[in-house]
Structure 1
Amino acid sequence: AHLATYVDINRALWAAVERQELTPNQVQARRFADLVAAAGLEADATVLAEQFVIGMGRFGDLYDGAGPILATLATTATLALVTNGLGAVQRARIERLGLEPFFSAIVISGEVDTAKPGTKIFDLAFEALGWPPKETVLMVGDSLTSDIAGGAGYGIATCWYNPGGGSAHPDAPIDHEIRSLDQLPRLATTGVATAS
């Protein structure tokens, strides 16, 4: 009954993260406090938030074919995982899905108090990778507002993963677009290293 209210609150708070008005950790604290207030619930927002984080770490899967693609790319490119989200949730997912071995750097916005599309999170990833030349890096992501805008704002090439075939604004800074992850290794072998 309150799911739609939660979705609206959560979406608005994460949009504020992308505008750099809030941190991911502030989202964790606020979304359930706002839900309890908006829905008039008699519940402890802190307990709801803690239980939600535990549950979120147990769910979420890779896109179809992502595991083998990462295994292939990791043999030919240096990979970084740069993600907006809460540290506890993302670390649990990374561990559960066995992703850590594929990446030379993992930067989670909730652990560093900065988020995409801001440039600071990209600075942290580049530092962890030893400052590769920007022209050798490709930002791959499914979000136009955080991944693609962030990569373009940082001055690196972008690749929009668009499996649903959605349309983007004509001015969106998309350098490459793929509908299937199977297309990514071919794109990466054109001399562009991959960061995602």
Structure 2
Amino acid sequence: MKTYELVFIDADDTLFDYRKAESKALSGAFESHDISITDEIIRKYGRINKELWRKYERNEITQEALRTERFRQLFNDLSLTMDHADFSEIYLDYLSNSAVLMENADTICRYLHENYMTVIITNGISKVQRNRFDKSQIRDCFDHLVISEEAGCNKPHIGIFEYAEQITGYSDKDKMIIIGDSLTSDIAGGINYGIDTCWLNLHGTDNTKDIQPTYSISGLLELKNIL
């Protein structure tokens, strides 16, 4: 078994249950405008938001623009005339207060922290990710928190990993690994940077992309078989 010393791990949909947090935040933001959330709104927002984050990965949109553009598109689809910039701030406030963890995240984070340097590496928004992290049960399980907004670049680009080198003071790529749920962000990023990768494939999704992780797991506790 290969020996590692530094473990990068993604935040959303790897450690934090982003879908639950997103649903709660949308409900709160719409209810603050006296609008009841519906499954249709959640589906529309999810589709729009996912595509914009993919554009962000490809450097086709800034994170600042993404924050409001998703609601501009959503309100156009729903024929709503609310101010999308103001709504975005309300939504982010709700989102930053949700720290729901994925199943077994607490257990695996404590295991990893006892044995490795542990670093969260996320494309999320700084004020959201830091607040959620500080409110979570795993806040004492990580040595560093690397956020794309602070790094000035995002996964899958190697710049965020180079920024992590500065933050951690660690640069031995042969002893690093990244764990995450996204092939196009986490796994492609690790491959671009030249480190081993572990794809968290919770839903048994077929890998139809030309991106091959070093390892694949179907649950967080399987990491104990690798690390």
TM-score range, shorter chain: 0.7 to 0.9
Match of 1:92 in 2: 131
3-state SS in 2 of match to 1:71: helix
**2:150 equivalent in structure 1:** 111
Moved more, 56-65 or 157-166: 56-65
Distance 1:60 1:101, change over 3 A: closer
TM-score (norm 2): 0.76
Deviations 1:118-175 (A, max 9, x none): 1111111122111331010011001111001111111000000112222112632210
Map of 2:194 onto structure 1: 155
The number of residue pairs the alignment matches comes to 188
CA shift digits 1:92-126 (9 cap, x unpaired): 21111133322222111233332111111111112
Give the equivalent residue in structure 1 for 2:185.
Answer: 146
The 1:29/1:112 distance shift into structure 2, 3 A limit, reads: farther
- Provide the rounded CA distance (Å) in 2 between the counterparts of 1:4 and 1:182: 30
Q: Distance between the aligned counterparts of 1:35 and 1:21, measured in 2?
A: 19
**1:76 counterpart = 2:115:** yes
Question: For residues 100 and 120 of structure 1, what CA distance do their matches in structure 2 show?
Answer: 25
Question: With CA pairs under 8 Å and 6+ residues apart, which has the higher RCO, 1 or 2?
Answer: 2
Higher alpha-carbon deviation: 150-159 or 20-29: 20-29
Partner of 1:59: 98
Describe the SS at the equivalent of 1:15: helix
Greater shift after overlay, 134-143 or 109-118?
109-118
Structure 1 residues 170, 115: closer, same or farther in 2, change over 3 A? closer
What is the Cα-based RMSD across aligned positions, in Å?
A: 1.7
1:93 aligned counterpart, secondary structure = helix
| 1:185 positional shift | 2.7
Letter in 1 for 2:206: S
